[in-house]
Amino acid sequence: MTIGIGLKNLLSNPIKFSESSTPQKSKAQQRADKLSETQRPGQPFTRAGKKATADVNAEKNGGKVVCEYCGTETVKVKQSKKGVVPPQNELQIDHKIPQSAGGSGTPNNGAASSRSCNVKKSNKY
C-alpha cells in the first residue's frame, strides 16, 4: 500500500534537476555579499566595495561596467588631472540610499553610475 502510493507520487511528480533552478552565485557576487555583511551606514565605499560593485555590474553586462541609471558604458579614470574635466561617463559608485540619509557604503547599496547621473542625483537636494 505505502509502496504503491510512493510509486504513484514518483511518477506523477517527476523531479527535474536543471542548472537554472539553482543559480550559483558568481565570485564577484559572493565577494559583494561578503563585503555587505558589515554595514557602513552613512559612510563612503571602501576601495574593495567599489570594485566589487563594478565587478558585479560588469558580469551582467558582458564585461562592461554600465551606468545603472542611463545605460551608458562607463570608463575608469585612473588619475584626475588639474584643469581637466573628467568625462561625463566616468565610472562612479553611487549610494542607492544616499550616504547623507544613512545609506550604507557597501556593495548592496552601491550602483555603478556615470559621472553625469551621479552629479544629477546629488544635485536634487
- By beta-carbon proximity to Zn ion, the closer residue of 54 and 117 is 117
Q: Record the cell numbers describing residue 24, joined without a space.
A: 550559483
Q: Which of 33, 42, 69, 108 binds Zn ion (CB under 5 A)?
A: 69
DSSP letter for each residue of the chain: -HHHHHHHHHHHSPPP--GGGSPPPPHHHHHHHHHTSS--BT-PPPHHHHHHHHHHHHHHTTT--B-TTT-PBPB--S-PPTTPPPPTTBEEEEESS-GGGT-BSSGGGEEEEEHHHHHHHHTT-
- Residue 57 binding Zn ion, by CB under 5 A: no
Stretch that binds Zn ion, among 23-31, 50-58, 60-68, 75-83 (CB under 5 A): 60-68
- Residue 114 binding Zn ion, by CB under 5 A: yes
Binding mask 14-43 for Zn ion (x = CB under 5 A): ------------------------------
- By beta-carbon proximity to Zn ion, the closer residue of 36 and 57 is 57
Q: Which of 65, 67, 91, 112 binds Zn ion (CB under 5 A)?
A: 67
- Residue 53 binding Zn ion, by CB under 5 A: no
